[in-house]
Amino acid sequence: MTIKSASPTAISRRTAVAVSLAAPFVITSRAFAADKVRIAKSVGTSFPFCGADLGLAKGMFASEGIDAEVSVFRGDGQMQQAFAAGAIDVGLGSGPGMGYAAKGVPAIAVAALASEPRNMSLVVMKDSPIKTVDDLKGKRIGVTTAGSLTDWLTRKLSDSKGWGADGIEVVPMGEMRTRLAAMKSGELAGSVNSIQETWNLVEQGQGRLLATFADAVPDFHTHVIYASRPLVDKNPELVRRFLRGWFKTAHYMRDNRADTVKFIAATMKISEKVIDESYDYELKMLSMDGAFNPKAIETIRYSLKDLGILDRIPEAKEMFMPGFAPVKV
Each residue's pLDDT tens digit, 90-149: 999 999 999 999 999 999 999 999 999 999 999 999 999 999 999 999 999 999 988 888
Q: What is the mean pLDDT of the chain?
A: 90
The structural domains of the chain, with segments of one domain joined by +, span 35-116+220-318, 120-212
Look up the CATH number of domain 35-116+220-318: 3.40.190.10
Percentage of the chain lying above the pLDDT 70 cut: 90
Of 19-33, 40-54, 171-185, 204-218, minimum mean pLDDT range: 19-33
Q: Is the predicted pLDDT of residue 14 greater than 70, yes or no? A: no
38, HSE (Cβ side, Cα atoms, 13 Å)? 13
Domains 35-116+220-318 and 120-212 share a fold: yes
Look up the CATH number of domain 120-212: 3.40.190.10
DSSP state string for 269-313: T--HHHHHHHHHHHHHHB-SS----HHHHHHHHHHHHHTTS-SS-
221, 297 contact by CB (below 8 A): yes
87, 38 contact by CB (below 8 A): yes
